[in-house]
Structure 1
Amino acid sequence: MTVTDTHTHLYSDAFDDDRKVMIERAIAANVTRFFIPAIDSSYTKAMLQLEADFPNHVHLMTGLHPTSVKENYMEELRHVEELLSKRKFVAIGEIGIDLYWDKNTLEIQQEAFSHQIRLAKQYRLPIVNHCREAFDEIFVVLETEKSDDLFGIFHCFTGDIEQAKRAISFNMKLGIGGVVTFKNGGIDKFLNQIDLEHVVLETDSPYLAPVPYRGKRNESAYIIKVLEKLSELYGLSQEVIAAITTENSKAIFKV
């Protein structure tokens, strides 16, 4: 069985004390494919080092996270463009809109999001989309940029079934993580109505640890708890869920 974590911040300082052991623990649990989203230029060095340390398992994205869209966002976008011109990445991410932390930056978040979608199209890459308290705003941008060459993952999907269907209409897979195990997470109520071809697994570690680890540091090995929940919801074996979601990740990332 091969399990794919399509979204994990393994370079986070939350793992500074035990990163190697933590990653090896995940690999021992059959989680052998790690897709690493970017935040901003301050993490680039750590991401490149992570790839150098685990070249057979780690796959890097580049992009500017919406909560890092500040006054210097054009400078940050130039950094993304420079990286893209020098080497290969598997996606532009994570990008999008986040109105939980700062509603005052909506306009420049929208500009940065659109700019990076166009970069993804230019380089024929998927996007990995971050949405927090911003479904309407995200959908406006996706509608504007909608085309056959727009595709990717709606990371950490937490919406309702209608929002799920709309996300899928933009050629997006739904990134399902620890929230599906939460008592009041909501998505467990309808997820089995969504065909598995539209689903990928993720942890978003070190954030959003699944039950029974909720509130603690998340790590990629804990994706097995997400896998167990989907097995329960879909009435399929963990091996089948792992195989389908891994194939879905390959269709997106081409790796």
Structure 2
Amino acid sequence: MKYIDIHSHLNDKRFEEDLPLVLLRMRAAHVASIVVGTDKAMSLRAIALAEEHSDIWATIGVHPTDDPLETYDEAAYCKMAKHPRVVGIGECGIDYFRLEDDRARGRIENMDAEADRQQELFTRQMDLAAAVDKPLMIHGRPEKGSMDAYEDILHILKNGQERYGGRVKGNVHFFVGDTIIAKQFLDMGFTMSFTGVLTFSHDYDEVLKYIPLGSLHVETDAPYVAPAPYRGKRNEPAYVLETVRAVAEIKGIDSEIVTETLLENAKRIFCL
């Protein structure tokens, strides 16, 4: 194992028909993966995959917007969180990107009430992460032209660290913030991960250069956002190598050093 894709959705239905082949390609590329839960069913599926495959680990949690009607089953998530193959809590967090669209489509009735719901849901999962002393896998997506979701996440995390100290820790997945937001996460000891977007967009070059290599991870978020040269296709863990190459190129650091450091980062943060 040379690479760890710290955030994939191999539990997604889009992998049902050919998962064995996807795993063969993953192993041929010397990649292991953390499979992420987004609700109860997907969390249980992530655990099942981690039980079956030694190069897969699981996180369990409730995504902020996938199903606004899902009730947080604290007892069930607490039980899952204690499973030895579960290495984190999430993906959980705050997502304001589509609040207006969701209201217009009738998915939510009130944007303020929805923001409050997401904040409470994230807080409860932060409490769980602290209780079991496992890192958070944080989803943050601000409204366009804003950093609002990150600002609210940071506020909740700061309150959490005041209560729980170093047990509030983890990674901000698919980071799309600026250097100001990145500094605040770094000051709290959090890491940030980047996707294949680095291979076809320069929007995040500045913040990637700003974040120390020791505070970075790479991920695919498969089956989403396939990197160049696979754009438009279903993403998969083997493609994380393209993101590793992009990190090395953008930061101007030898690729072997980048590869080794990213591997150690993942092992350290997720206790792999």
Regarding TM over 0.5, the answer is yes
Name the aligned partner's letter for residue 126 of structure 1. Answer: P
Other-structure match for 1:37: 36
Mind listing any 5+ residue stretches in structure 1 that lack a counterpart?
Answer: none
Other-structure match for 1:160: 178
- Match of residue 229, structure 1, among 231, 246, 265: 246
Separation of aligned partners in 1, 2:85 and 2:17: 29
Mind listing any 5+ residue stretches in structure 2 that lack a counterpart?
Answer: 100-110, 143-148
* 1:181 matches 2:199: yes
Q: Percent identity?
A: 31
Separation of aligned partners in 2, 1:183 and 1:91: 29
- Match of residue 150, structure 1, among 165, 168, 174: 168
SS of match in other structure, 1:204: coil
The alignment's TM-score, normalised by the length of structure 1, stands at 0.91
SS of match in other structure, 1:250: helix
Separation of aligned partners in 2, 1:45 and 1:6: 18
Name the aligned partner's letter for residue 135 of structure 1. Answer: Y
The alignment's TM-score, normalised by the length of structure 2, stands at 0.86
1:201/1:86 CA distance change after superposition, 3 Å? closer
Other-structure match for 1:99: 96
Separation of aligned partners in 2, 1:149 and 1:44: 22
Name the aligned partner's letter for residue 74 of structure 1. Answer: Y
Deviation at 1:85, TM superposition (A): 4.9
* 8 A contact 1:197–1:244 mirrored in 2: yes
Separation of aligned partners in 2, 1:232 and 1:72: 42
Deviation at 1:64, TM superposition (A): 1.2
Name the aligned partner's letter for residue 9 of structure 2. Answer: H
Deviation at 1:60, TM superposition (A): 0.9
Separation of aligned partners in 1, 2:69 and 2:259: 41
* 8 A contact 1:66–1:96 mirrored in 2: yes
Other-structure match for 1:57: 55
Deviation at 1:87, TM superposition (A): 5.1
Separation of aligned partners in 2, 1:203 and 1:126: 19
**Aligned ranges 1:6-155 → 2 under 5 Å:** 6-31=6-31, 33-54=32-53, 56-68=54-66, 70-75=68-73, 77-85=74-82, 89-102=86-99, 103=111, 104-133=113-142, 134-146=149-161, 147-155=165-173
Name the aligned partner's letter for residue 10 of structure 1. Answer: L
Name the aligned partner's letter for residue 232 of structure 1. Answer: E
Instruction: Show CA shifts across 1:192-225 (max 9, x none).
Output: 2321011011111111111222232111111111
Q: After superposing the two structures, state which structure 1 stretch, 116-125 or 141-150, moved more.
A: 141-150
Separation of aligned partners in 2, 1:6 and 1:48: 15
* 1:171 matches 2:189: yes
Separation of aligned partners in 1, 2:169 and 2:236: 27
RMSD: 1.8
* 1:209 matches 2:226: yes
